[in-house]
Amino acid sequence: MARINENYLKLPGSYLFAEIARRVAKFKNENPEADIIRLGIGDVTRPLAPAVIESLHKAVDEMGQAATFRGYGPEQGYEFLIEKIIEGDYAPRGVKLDVEEVFVSDGSKSDVGNIQEIFGIDNIVAITDPVYPVYLDSNVMAGRTGEYKNGRFEKIVYLPCNAENNFVPALPKEKVDMIYLCVPNNPTGTTLSKAELKKWVDYARENDAIIFFDSAYEAYIQEPDIPHSIYEIEGAKEVAIEFRSFSKTAGFTGTRCAYTVVPKTVMASTAAGEKYPLNKLWNRRQTTKFNGVPYIVQRGAEAVYSPEGQKQIREIIQYYMTNAKIIREGLESVGLQVFGGVNAPYIWLKTPHNLDSWAFFDKLLTEAHIVGTPGSGFGPSGEGYFRLTAFGSRENTERAIERIKTRLKL
């Protein structure tokens, strides 16, 4: 008799966005005239850069001619793209990578979800809290956790990030093996300095742990001295796997291209204590269970690295970061405590009067007709916080802040 993977039954259900939709629908039903502004959206809204569009068209034409048609490409991605990634994203920061250390994929969600497959089931997983749910859920599904009790999974080490510790997670007291770090952070919009990140690299080296470094938002970093890549930290190439994406960097959320860096020097152990390169395991995983990114899309991603492409995507990022500034300053002007939004498109606010996250959601919706995301949806330490994002249009962002200033009863 075929049996299911019962680990799936431990998952409490992806309740967050369904519940948001339910509450918004109810409000709209009762207030049909309300003009709701959505600042909860974690998705880009600006169109693809002209340089990318041009490159996509050219690649489509190639696919229509026998002489230039492309069938299966390398599962790891085309070298034309990998070389641009290394030259464009790493060489300028003094990070040297081999083409075999970069794996192009259809998205960081796939990669951060799949990476745990190459690890044993008994590893102890640490996540920051609040957190992007995929890190946790993929490990639940694989069986690396116990049951879900009181908002937490047994066996998982939660690393709280809140105003009290300035959103800098403390090193775990217990020994952990797999550590997920998202910098700049989703959902808090905060980041880590080189010195703070170095503590994690040192911990991983001392404890033979692996760091999964999700830097999907690195292009939003505005301040100097904030590391864009974990490989800027000495020793990181022994312990860290880095995830990057074109989703937020170049508006590829609906176009799908990302990449994962697995240096050949990152090792984990067999039960017998032998070191084994993770690059080889990830290559085997990808060549067995993945067939590469569309040629057309890889040509689109390549265009991001052209001088025009770079200029165009920087303008789009600046557009969003101006929104972030408007939101941040607007919220501060009415006395709210605000985090993030300086090096990331996310603004994380402390709810006023110790309201819980859902109570503030209802308040913002009913008083200002604005939809955001309750912080508690990202983990127990998100309770009492609330996420707004800079991905809306300028007009809606400005209107939303005007409403918060004039309609929200604080």
Residue 265 near its own copies by CB under 8 A:
no
* CB closer to its own copies, 293 vs 344: 293
Q: What is the smallest separation between the CB atom of 1 and its own copies, expressed in angstroms?
A: 4
- Residues in 50-69 that interact with its own copies by CB under 8 A: 50, 53, 56-57, 60-61, 63-66, 69
Residue 268 near its own copies by CB under 8 A:
yes
User: For residue 76, what is the DSSP state?
Assistant: T
Residue 157 near its own copies by CB under 8 A:
no
Q: What is the smallest separation between the CB atom of 229 and its own copies, expressed in angstroms?
A: 21
Figure out which of the listed residues 81, 240, 297, 338 binds its own copies, where binding follows CB under 8 A.
Answer: 297
Name the one range near its own copies by CB under 8 A: 182-190, 206-214, 218-226, 368-376. Answer: 206-214
User: How many residues belong to the chain?
Assistant: 410
CA angle (245, 123, 16) in 5-degree steps? 50
- Show the site string, 160-189: x = touches its own copies by CB under 8 A, - = not: -----------------xx-----------
Q: What is the smallest separation between the CB atom of 215 and its own copies, expressed in angstroms?
A: 17
Task: Give the 3-state secondary structure of residue 42.
Answer: coil
Residue burial 108-139, b: 16+ Cβ < 10 Å; e: rest: bbbbbbbbbebbeeebbbbbbbbbbbbbbbbb
- Show the site string, 97-136: x = touches its own copies by CB under 8 A, - = not: ---------xx-xx--xx--xxxxxxx---------xx--
Residue 296 near its own copies by CB under 8 A:
yes
Instruction: List, in order, residues 6 or more apart from 210 with CB less than 8 Å away.
Output: 119, 177, 178, 179, 204, 239, 240, 241, 266, 268, 278
Q: What is the smallest separation between the CB atom of 159 and its own copies, expressed in angstroms?
A: 17
Cα–Cα separations (whole angstroms), residue 142 to 175, 222, 278: 20, 37, 18
Q: Which two tokens stand for residue 84?
A: 């641009």
* CB closer to its own copies, 270 vs 354: 270
Q: Which two tokens stand for residue 47?
A: 């169109």
- Residues in 7-26 that interact with its own copies by CB under 8 A: 8-9, 11, 14
Q: Which of 280, 309, 115 is nearest to 214 (CA)?
A: 115
Q: Which of 196, 201, 225 is nearest to 213 (CA)?
A: 201
* CB closer to its own copies, 117 vs 329: 117
